Structure 1
Amino acid sequence: MPHLIRRLLLALALACSGVVLVQLPAQACTCEIPDVGPASRQADVVFTGVLLGEERGNRRSTLALEVDRVFKGDVATSPIEVASPTDSCGLRLSPDQTYVVFAVDGTSGLTSERCDGTTRADRQTLTAVERALGPGRTYEEPTPEPPPPTYTRVLDSDPPEFTRLAAPGAALAIVGLLGWVVVRRRA
């Protein structure tokens, strides 16, 4: 009997160690973070912005960034939402910090991850971005389009008669003709 208990304990220890030893390592981001030059060429939109907040989901997080300067592409609104995966390649940004965001404009909006080159906006990074893309422009809210004109019918009046419309033109023609006659008489 003691021999049987020893065997059971040994089998239990081996089974438990198998779970620990066979467990897969956590997936690390395998991409190489690009330099500013290649990152700016690959990105559709490049801007600096401050992280206002983050909404995390199971597979994606949505980052709200207040846009400061735009170096490439068009930014329609500020704050702007940028999607990022929640895996190891996703963006890990701190609130109230300024970042240089290299984003791709996809079918569901802007997306960015570590592999795109998004990083904290320090002096060295900003100098490299300005060298690659120029000084950028300060973000300004686009002016809204004016509302379309509305046409209203004025009471139920009839349109003006032809004689009323033609009278000013006829008067000018008569004055011109009289002026011509006077000038010809003097000559």
Structure 2
Amino acid sequence: MSRTFPVVLALFLAALGVVVLPAAPAAACDCVSDDAAGFFARADVVFTGTLVSREVSHPNAPVFSSADPALHVFAVDSVFKGSAAEHQGVVSADSGATCGLELSGTGPFVVFANSDAALPAGEYAASLCGGSGPLTAALEADLRELGPAAGPSAEPRPGAAGVAPVDGPGPWPWLAGGAVVLVAGALVRRRRRRRVLSGK
């Protein structure tokens, strides 16, 4: 590998202003085990459904973190506690290392979530330690004993259930363009130096 490549790469990243914060070790999220009744009691809303989409936003871009918010949108099947829309937004940290939800596939899942005044209207928050995960027959039986199942509330107006996408394209087009110019300039200077040294 050319000795100048690390320099060019460093300049490229500097131009972007990219700072990637590594995920904390898994031990950083230390959950206390509990049963369905315990998770149910602490949650503001409990529902089952399938995962429709997952979108991570970076409010501090160009700084990235495993704690950046990930918006999960669920198609709700049954509500066992609280109120949920047919398409319900639930936010968590991006990574399980920072106690974010770790859901594989589309489900079905059971979601134990809570209200948070800092979130957009209609959106809930959930974490790795809150009990959310794959829905099993045994877990569904427990939920039916803990609270009556009801259909989800009617589809709200756009954004009312916390599913509105983040507005704006962000700073990346401008930053990336500047980085490309910087890297191109570095490569041109490198070629000129080679020609001078070779006498061509």
SS at match of 2:143: helix
Shift of 1:61: 0.5
Alignment TM-score, normalising by the size of structure 1: 0.58
Shift of 1:101: 0.3
Give the match for residue 105 of structure 2: 95
Q: In 1, Cα distance between the equivalents of 2:143 and 2:78?
A: 11
Q: Could you give the per-residue CA deviations for residues 102-136 of structure 1, whole angstroms, max 9, x where no partner exists?
A: 000111130001211112111011011112223x1
SS at match of 1:94: coil
Shift of 1:140: 4.5
The answer to whether the 8 Å contact 1:53/1:95 transfers is: no
Percent identity between the two aligned chains: 27
- After superposition, residues 58-77 of structure 1 pair within 5 angstroms as 58=65, 59-75=68-84, 77=85
Give the match for residue 25 of structure 2: 26
Give the total of aligned pairs: 118
Give the match for residue 117 of structure 1: 131
- After superposition, residues 1-187 of structure 1 pair within 5 angstroms as 26-28=25-27, 29-57=29-57, 58=65, 59-75=68-84, 77-87=85-95, 88=97, 89-107=99-117, 108=119, 109-134=123-148, 136-141=149-154
Give the match for residue 167 of structure 1: none
Shift of 1:26: 1.7
Q: CA RMSD in A?
A: 2.0
Shift of 1:64: 0.7
Give the match for residue 158 of structure 1: none
Give the match for residue 170 of structure 1: none
Q: In 2, Cα distance between the equivalents of 1:142 and 1:51?
A: 16
Structure 1 portions without partners, runs of 5+? 1-24, 145-187
Distance change (3 Å), C-alpha of 1:143 and 1:78: closer
Shift of 1:94: 2.5
Shift of 1:62: 0.5
SS at match of 2:103: coil
Q: Could you give the per-residue CA deviations for residues 78-100 of structure 1, whole angstroms, max 9, x where no partner exists?
A: 21110011232211112321111
The runs of at least 4 consecutive aligned structure 1 residues that moved more than 6 Å come to: none
Q: In 1, Cα distance between the equivalents of 2:156 and 2:31?
A: 40
Distance change (3 Å), C-alpha of 1:116 and 1:143: closer
Structure 2 portions without partners, runs of 5+? 1-23, 58-64, 158-200
Structure with the greater relative contact order (CA < 8 A, sep ≥ 6): 1 or 2?
2
SS at match of 2:144: helix
The answer to whether the 8 Å contact 2:83/2:152 transfers is: no
Distance change (3 Å), C-alpha of 1:96 and 1:26: closer
